[in-house]
Amino acid sequence: MKLTEPDFSDFPPGTVTEYTTLVCLACIFDIFTGQIGLAPRSAYSEIKRYAPTVEELTSPKAVRPFFDSEEKHPRCPYCDAAKRWQARLNTHCLEGGKATDTPRRKLFKTLQKKTEQFAIVEQKSDRRTAFFNWLDTLRLSLDLNEPGWLLEATKSFLERKEPKQDWTEVFEGLGVVRASSRLSEGWERDGARLYLSPELYNEALLVQYLVSRSHEHGGRTLVGRLTLPELLRRMRKGGYLSAHGIEAFDQFELFEKLIDEVAGSGALKLYYIVDRREFIDKVKSVYASYA
Ligand SMILES: [Zn+2]
């Protein structure tokens, strides 16, 4: 049966997160036949049904039988098995919500007939978690050594904030992004310059800070390197804190409240789509060599 690839192009930018991990089938067969003591045939039917958890599929630190590798012909770090014993599991995570309802329903309809190949896992989550997932993905897509990353990060933030706007068009041929006190909200493009309202600009700085922060040096932003106290002072002076009614006992509580403001709070559903095609194929060929 020929399968068409699932299409994620209808989803607004920033609402889909991708994960990938390798799984060693030699390790899995070893666990099922050795530790659990199943005959190869029963192990095979168990393994075919095996559904890894979201944590196993998305964790930055893989544990046996999962592992991550950038190599073309990696070997299993646990049992040294070669590539033909390994399967790649790709997972897409979709944020629930109004902006993704229509494309999600459409996509799920096409996947419903392929439940063995594509597993869908629904998970209750919240906006803050979704925001940090998004931030992790953004960090991986940026090269912080390239000067253009600040504009890229700003564009990604605006795409997430206002998904209906075509930001690729707005950023076409753009030279600089500045704050403009003339704007009480929104943005304005003037020649090679993009002006943001102080509020939007400060939120963009916070995102840049979060993407690039390190313990020794603070974060890097459009206004240069900022430590946490400097960033907070800027937000206070710019009126962001009073406009959003943010008060706090110390700078850490303040920072947390600021993140909640930018990330949004409240419940949110996450939908994980696990591509099991390679897994199923490999389980079959590995079992054939066992039997
Ligand atoms: Zn292994």
Q: How far is the CA of 2 from the centre of ligand 1 (A)?
A: 30
Q: How far is the CA of 25 from the centre of ligand 1 (A)?
A: 6
Q: How far is the CA of 86 from the centre of ligand 1 (A)?
A: 8
263: left (phi over 0), alpha (psi -120 to 50) or beta: alpha
Q: How far is the CA of 278 from the centre of ligand 1 (A)?
A: 16
Strands 187-190 and 176-179: unpaired
Torsion 97-101-105-111 (CA) sign:
negative
124-163 tens-digit pLDDT: 999 999 999 899 889 988 999 998 999 999 999 999 999 8
Q: How far is the CA of 136 from the centre of ligand 1 (A)?
A: 28
Q: Does pLDDT of 112 surpass 90?
A: no
Q: Does pLDDT of 1 surpass 50?
A: no
Phi, psi for residue 85 in degrees, rounded to 5: -95, 0
- pLDDT, position 3: 58
**What is the residue extent of each domain of the chain?**
16-117+276-290, 144-263
Q: How far is the CA of 31 from the centre of ligand 1 (A)?
A: 10
Torsion 181-183-186-192 (CA) sign:
negative
Torsion of CA 266, 196, 169, 94, to 10 degrees: -10
Please compute the mean of the pLDDT values over residues 7-14 and round it to a whole number.
89
- pLDDT, position 190: 96
> From CA 134, how far away is CA 125, in angstroms rounded?
13
Q: How far is the CA of 274 from the centre of ligand 1 (A)?
A: 21
Length of the chain: 291
Q: Give the number of other CB atoms < 10 A from CB of residue 103.
A: 18
pLDDT confidence band for 99 (50 / 70 / 90) = confident
> From CA 150, how far away is CA 161, in angstroms rounded?
16
Q: How far is the CA of 80 from the centre of ligand 1 (A)?
A: 6
Q: How far is the CA of 68 from the centre of ligand 1 (A)?
A: 12
Q: How far is the CA of 88 from the centre of ligand 1 (A)?
A: 13
Q: What is the DSSP letter of 214?
A: B
Q: How far is the CA of 27 from the centre of ligand 1 (A)?
A: 4
Looking up tokens 């096409």 gives: 110
Q: How far is the CA of 110 from the centre of ligand 1 (A)?
A: 34
172-225 tens-digit pLDDT: 999 999 999 999 999 999 999 999 999 999 999 999 999 999 767 889 999 999
Strands 219-221 and 66-67: unpaired
Q: How far is the CA of 145 from the centre of ligand 1 (A)?
A: 36
Q: How far is the CA of 287 from the centre of ligand 1 (A)?
A: 15
Q: How far is the CA of 79 from the centre of ligand 1 (A)?
A: 4
20-32 tens-digit pLDDT: 999 999 999 999 9
pTM value is 0.84
Q: How far is the CA of 28 from the centre of ligand 1 (A)?
A: 7
Q: How far is the CA of 114 from the centre of ligand 1 (A)?
A: 28
Q: Does pLDDT of 2 surpass 60?
A: no
Q: Does pLDDT of 4 surpass 80?
A: no
Of 12, 17, 95, 122, the closest CA to residue 268 belongs to 95
Q: Where are the alpha helices (DSSP H) in the chain?
A: 25-29, 40-49, 54-58, 98-111, 127-141, 149-161, 167-171, 198-212, 228-237, 240-243, 251-263, 277-290
> From CA 167, how far away is CA 199, in angstroms rounded?
18
Q: What is the DSSP letter of 155?
A: H
Q: Give the number of other CB atoms < 10 A from CB of residue 219.
A: 20
> From CA 79, how far away is CA 269, in angstroms rounded?
37
- pLDDT, position 279: 95
Average pLDDT, the chain: 91
Q: Name the percent of the chain lying above pLDDT 70.
A: 98
226-271 tens-digit pLDDT: 999 999 999 999 889 999 999 998 999 999 999 999 998 899 999 9
